[in-house]
Amino acid sequence: MPSMSMTSLPPRIALQLFYEVSIVLALVTVLFVLYGYWQSRRFPEPVEGDLRDPYDRSRHWLMQGLGALWLLDGLLQAQPLMVTRFIGGFLAPLLSGQPAFLAFWIDVGVKLWSVNPVLWNVFATFIQIGIGLGLIWGHPDRGQRIALWVSLAWGLVVWVAGEALGGIFSGGGWLTGAPGSVFFYMVAALLLLPSRDWWRNPRVTRAIEWGVAILFAFEAFLQAWPPAGWWTASGIQGFVLSMAEMPQPTFVSAPLYAWAHALGRHPALWNGILVGGLVVLAVLWAIRPRHRGVWWLTVAWVFAAWWLGQDFGVLGGMGTDPNSGAILILGLLAYGDRVGLVRLPVFHKVSQPHSLPETSA
């Protein structure tokens, strides 16, 4: 495995430079947003599709939600700790337990970042903000498509060098958010890139359902893999306890402490429940994916893992994204609207509504 020496923290002048460059780019971003808003008021462009239609509405929600998540990731990347402790506190620990091919690319990322952590962090911050703005306010045929392609390229870099493939080779499981939030960002981008006609194809719906079933089966395997340590108190309780001890409101941490106490008493039992629940969900999504009860059970299961396992991803001062729970819930909402299990609200005025032929799910 490649090794690295712990670099010293950037000097105070580096932080000053970071803020100076960030302020300039922030002003440019604000001017860009204001210009885009002014243009949209002068030359209003219709939203792609008819938001009264569940297919177009679910696609619109997925696009806007993905943009909001990328925008949030960019703002989280702008935290001061990302300049001073990103290498030692985030990137370097990823090297532990990785296979050689993956450790090589993580080490490359560490060395590149250490050349100039200030400029790299500014670049990472604003490329993610740019992706988010492009997805939220971009033109369907230009800005959004460019943002989707950029999100795929940048997402691949982040997933490999910044998330270590979600930790699937180093003990990651359902509670950690494996295979990583950026993996799901890329899946969402791949679903949004093709045409609206492709999106309305019933085969896409079935492919999504099988994809969710396979995901839960894979998560059950990761959670049950003995070397990962989830069957032991030190493994499963230690992980949850580390989340509970993060600086956060008491109402968020109290359930984590309570569950960590229960995990310490019966770790194998609780992990067995987790594995069994994931297997049940995999089977249900294979045979009855459009049952309303299955959908609600899945939403509740994902939200519980997002809170009790991932601690919402952003708490504690070093979070770079809200972890997998957020994008999975967004995907479940879009799917639920698509197949008629829930109707998502519309906050955008449709300027040129048109009727579309009905397509069975």
| DSSP collapsed to 3 states, 301-333 | HHHHHHHHCCCCCCCCCCCCCCHHHHHHHHHHH
pLDDT tens for 160-196 read 988 999 999 999 999 999 999 999 999 999 999 999 8
Query: What is the per-residue pLDDT for 8?
Result: 45
Higher pLDDT, 132 or 18: 132
The pLDDT > 90 percentage for the chain reads 57
pLDDT tens for 322-331 read 999 999 999 9
Query: What is the per-residue pLDDT for 33?
Result: 61
Query: What is the per-residue pLDDT for 92?
Result: 77
Q: pLDDT band at residue 7, thresholds of 50, 70 and 90?
A: very low
Query: What is the per-residue pLDDT for 96?
Result: 84
Looking at residues 39-53, what average pLDDT do you find?
62
The CA-atom distances, in angstroms, between 170 and each of 108, 178, 209 are 19, 10, 28
Residue 82 has pLDDT above 90, yes or no: no
Q: Which of 275-284, 314-323, 327-336 has the lowest mean pLDDT?
A: 314-323
Measured CA to CA, the distance from residue 98 to residue 95 in angstroms comes to 6
Q: pLDDT band at residue 315, thresholds of 50, 70 and 90?
A: low
pTM assigned to the model: 0.85
Residue type, 338: R
Residue 99 has pLDDT above 60, yes or no: yes
Mean per-residue pLDDT of the chain: 85
Query: What is the per-residue pLDDT for 19?
Result: 58
The total number of residues shown for the chain amounts to 361
Looking at residues 251-274, what average pLDDT do you find?
94
Query: What is the per-residue pLDDT for 164?
Result: 92
- Using an 8 Å Cβ cutoff, are 52 and 353 in contact? yes
Residue 319 has pLDDT above 90, yes or no: no
**Both tokens of residue 203?**
């085969």
Measured CA to CA, the distance from residue 116 to residue 119 in angstroms comes to 6
Residue 355 has pLDDT above 60, yes or no: no
